[in-house]
Amino acid sequence: MMAMRSADQGRDIGAALDLFTSLMNHSCDPNAFVFCEGAQLRARSSRPIAAGEEITINYVDPSYDYSFRQKRLKPQYFFACQCERCRIDVMGQGPVSVHLRSRSPDFEDVQGQLLEFHSNLVQSSHEPCTLEDLRDKEDQMGLIGTAGFLNNGWPDYVQPGPEILQSFALIYLLQDELERSLRLCLKLCFIIGESTYGTSSPQWVHILSVLVQVLAAMVHRPKANPPSGTLSKTKIPLPEIHGACLCQFAEAVKGMYGADSAFARAADQLLEWEMNERRKLMSNDGFIAQFRKEYSALFQWADAQ
């Protein structure tokens, strides 16, 4: 029995019982993953697998720290994970363990409070709220997290930090607070790209999908969302940025779910539609080159915040 997550937003959408995927063991550094495509459950490798190598998937989110993973696995699956990554983590040598050395004794309590905060945030995400309400909630998250670390606040890259930021990015998008959503998306691109998730993970595809939606709203509804603040001063050409992001998104979806998947076909359709719109203005090669060139300007803007 496994919890199933939607491919577009990464939220739990139900549970499934499947004999084939039930044969796969857990690893905190798995070489495969399972996902839903409509009513179909599919398994796919996330990196090259050698002949005779065991195929593993993750039963708990591998981006969480060692003690969190063990605590989740024990009561639900009745084993203590001894995968290679857990062996490295327990010796305090893993990449995340280095960051976690300044944890306070209350770290686990605070992590639990942040998870509860996140679940409330998600539940109330469709309720109408003001920009001030959302700013207050972001401050509240900061306040809860402070007690988890000795020197500074809860780092953005320590879970559930990235999960909460992604929910905020989506909520700001729903509330048409596009520049705030855009900044959070770009921050998450750095965090996810550099973290255990990496750029060949469903999380990477999710954050690109939010980024594409934010930019689409800015480009195709400019009257409702005129650029303001620092973004308007940069003169960053948003249509080009949106196109570059769409190219990256379509590539990421193909790499993740396979060129024959429904997701890849949908992403290609979106890209084709956008390219046809833009092609009226410039040649195909010029279009791609221009998109890629402008993309870095946006990251510079986000960095300067």
Task: Give burial (CB, 10 Å; 0-12/13-18/19+) of 237.
Answer: middle
- Nearer to Zn ion (CB atom), residue 25 or residue 113: 25
- Nearer to Zn ion (CB atom), residue 19 or residue 80: 80
> Given candidates 28, 57, 169, 191, which one binds Zn ion under the rule CB under 5 A?
28
Alpha helices in the chain (DSSP H): 19-22, 66-77, 84-90, 95-99, 107-123, 131-146, 161-174, 178-194, 202-220, 229-234, 238-257, 262-279, 284-303
245, 252 Cβ separation under 8 angstroms? no
Selection from 177, 164, 185 nearest residue 299 by Cα:
185
147, 106 Cβ separation under 8 angstroms? yes
Q: Return the number of other C-beta atoms located less than 10 Å from residue 71's C-beta.
A: 14
- Nearer to Zn ion (CB atom), residue 81 or residue 210: 81
Part of the chain binding Zn ion (CB under 5 A), chosen from 79-87, 118-126, 172-180, 186-194: 79-87
Report the 3 state secondary structure along 66-123: HHHHHHHHHHHHCCCCCCHHHHHHHCCCCHHHHHHHHECCCHHHHHHHHHHHHHHHHH
Part of the chain binding Zn ion (CB under 5 A), chosen from 21-29, 119-127, 158-166, 207-215: 21-29
Binding residues for Zn ion, total number by CB under 5 A: 4
Q: Least distance to Zn ion from the beta carbon of 111, Å? A: 18
- Nearer to Zn ion (CB atom), residue 111 or residue 209: 111
Part of the chain binding Zn ion (CB under 5 A), chosen from 25-33, 91-99, 122-130, 154-162: 25-33
Part of the chain binding Zn ion (CB under 5 A), chosen from 75-83, 138-146, 215-223, 242-250: 75-83
> Given candidates 7, 24, 57, 86, which one binds Zn ion under the rule CB under 5 A?
86
Q: Least distance to Zn ion from the beta carbon of 94, Å? A: 10
Residues 34-63 that bind Zn ion (CB under 5 A): none
Q: Return the number of other C-beta atoms located less than 10 Å from residue 197's C-beta.
A: 19
Q: Is 83 in the site for Zn ion (CB under 5 A)?
A: yes
Q: Least distance to Zn ion from the beta carbon of 163, Å? A: 19
Part of the chain binding Zn ion (CB under 5 A), chosen from 74-82, 117-125, 229-237, 256-264: 74-82
From residue 166, alpha-carbon distances to 172, 203, 241, 244 in Å are 10, 10, 20, 21
Q: Least distance to Zn ion from the beta carbon of 103, Å? A: 19
Q: Least distance to Zn ion from the beta carbon of 76, Å? A: 14
Q: Which residues bind Zn ion (CB under 5 A)?
A: 28, 81, 83, 86
